[in-house]
């Protein structure tokens, strides 16, 4: 029983990490209808910002946590301006966006290798202590991931449901064309979306780096959080969280049964969801999911 509960907690912790990453995917998807694969690169840069502000500048944790968000938010906005904006201006099909996003992601990875190096780096220990409840151990860093993703979700929901910018975002998610005709500044909406997604990516990068390790290939981990976002329903924020936690738990149980089946299961699930229920658990119904 204790073994079962421990694995369950492991799964929720893993899911918490996916959640923090997948919210960024869903956010962009809900407005622009494409999967922003550059998100992984932005997370990776966030982790490096965290590492260097902590070690080289000696910032306290919360300062460097905020700097991560700021750095990644800026980067996401810059990517939008340089890469997506020109495509948007000439109404390119979403396939072009996806390819550009992949390009941006590979660019970021290689840029970091060239500018810094490929050596993995380890965060200084900040919260090494773990919480032990009845023999079940839970890392403080894992707990923070879950808390940050839930808080981030609540803040995002508040912005989207209660503020004027949020109203504009919702309007755009129904029809960008019609909203623009009604006088909504589409550029501003997209700027906000990328800024929010980028800030979350920065937080995710910092927390990921603390729990695991910092290296240029971190971005690839987001592949699974993308699967989680599809599973929960791309474009739905609560769906991203629910999908992530469920995926994390299922993945851990599969791995504890036989660790070789882990990726087989995750990507099998992706195919299954796309074939059987492309809208995922809580997503809006759309034809093209890419």
Partner 1 sequence: MRKSMKKLLALTLACLMLLGLMACGEKGGDGGSGGGDTIKLGWMGSLTGDQAAYGKCESQTLMMLVEEKNAEGGILGKQIELICYDTKGDAQEAVNVAKRLCAQDKVCAIIGPNASGQCIAIQSVLDEYKISDMSTVATNEKVTMQDGVLKEYNFRVCFLDPQQGNIAGSFVKDYLKFDKAAVLYDVNDDYALGLKDNFIRVFEEKGGTVVAQEGYTNGDTDFTAQLTKIKEAGPQIIFAPIFYQDYIMMHKQARTLGIELPFLGGDGCASEVLFDAADELDGSYVINHVSLVDPTADAYRARYSERWDGAKMELNGYMAHDAFLLWCAAVEKAGSDDPQAIAKAYCEVEVDGMAGHIKISPETHNPIGKSGCVERIDGENKTYVFETYIAAE
Residues at the interface with partner 1 (CB under 8 A): 3, 6-7, 10, 13-14, 99, 103, 106, 110, 113-114, 117-122, 124-125, 128, 130, 132, 137-139, 141-142, 211-213, 215-217, 220-221, 251-253, 255-256, 259-260, 262-263
Q: 132 is written with which tokens? A: 């032990």
Least gap, CB of 110 to partner 1 (angstroms): 7
Nearer to partner 1, 191 or 253 (CB): 253
Nearer to partner 1, 130 or 161 (CB): 130
1 near 181, Cβ under 8 Å?
no
Q: How far is the CB of 203 from partner 1 (least distance, A)?
A: 18
Which residue number, 14 or 67, has a Cβ lying nearer to partner 1?
A: 14
For partner 1, give the closer residue by CB, 142 or 149: 142
Alpha helical stretches, state H, the chain: 2-32, 39-55, 61-79, 85-89, 94-115, 140-162, 164-174, 176-181, 186-211, 222-232, 237-257, 262-276
Q: Given the complex with partner 1, which of 142 and 173 has the nearer CB atom? A: 142
Q: How many angstroms separate the CA atoms of 183 and 69, rounded?
A: 30
What's the min distance (Å) between Cβ of 217 and partner 1? 8
For the bound state, the minimum distance from the C-beta of residue 30 to partner 1, rounded and expressed in Å, comes to 27
Min separation Cβ 40 and partner 1, Å: 13
Tally of CB atoms within 10 A around 235:
25
Token pair 């629910």 is found at 242
- For the CB of residue 201, give the shortest distance to partner 1 in the complex, in Å: 17
For residue 63, what are its two tokens? 């300062």
Looking at beta carbons only, is 3 or 158 nearer to partner 1?
A: 3
What is the C-alpha separation between 40 and 45, in angstroms, rounded? Answer: 9
DSSP 125: P
Distance CA 231, CA 252 (A): 16
Give the Cα separation of 171 and 103 in Å (integer). 30
Helix axes 237-257, 222-232, angle to 10 degrees: 120
Judged by beta carbon, residue 145 or residue 172, the one nearer partner 1 is: 145
CB of 39 to partner 1, least distance (A): 17
Judge contact between 50 and 209, C-beta under 8 A: yes
């Amino acid at each position: 029983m204790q073994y079962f509960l421990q694995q369950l907690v492991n799964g929720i912790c893993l899911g918490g990490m996916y959640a923090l990453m997948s919210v960024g995917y869903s956010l962009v998807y809900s407005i622009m209808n494409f999967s922003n694969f550059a998100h992984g690169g932005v997370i990776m840069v966030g982790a490096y910002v965290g590492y260097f502000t902590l070690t080289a500048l000696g910032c306290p944790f919360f300062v460097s946590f905020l700097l991560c968000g700021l750095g990644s938010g800026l980067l996401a906005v810059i990517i939008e301006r340089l890469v997506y904006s020109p495509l948007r201006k000439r109404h390119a099909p979403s396939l072009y966006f996806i390819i550009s996003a992949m390009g941006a992601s590979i660019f970021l990875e290689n840029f970091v290798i060239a500018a810094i190096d490929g050596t993995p780096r380890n965060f200084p220990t900040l919260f090494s202590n773990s919480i032990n409840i009845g023999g079940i151990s839970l890392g403080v860093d894992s707990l923070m991931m879950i808390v940050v993703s839930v808080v981030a979700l609540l803040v995002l929901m508040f912005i989207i449901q209660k503020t004027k910018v949020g109203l504009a975002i919702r309007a755009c998610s129904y029809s960008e064309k019609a909203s623009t005709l009604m006088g909504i500044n589409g550029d501003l909406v997209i700027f906000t979306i990328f800024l929010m997604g980028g800030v979350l990516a920065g937080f995710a990068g910092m927390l990921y780096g603390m729990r695991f390790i910092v290296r240029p290939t971190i971005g690839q981990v987001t592949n699974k959080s993308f699967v989680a976002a599809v599973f929960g329903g791309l474009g739905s924020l609560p769906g991203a969280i629910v999908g992530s936690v469920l995926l994390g738990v299922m993945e851990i149980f599969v791995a504890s049964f036989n660790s070789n089946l882990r990726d087989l299961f995750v990507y099998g699930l992706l195919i299954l969801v796309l074939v059987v229920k492309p809208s995922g658990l809580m997503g809006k119904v759309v034809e093209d999911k890419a």
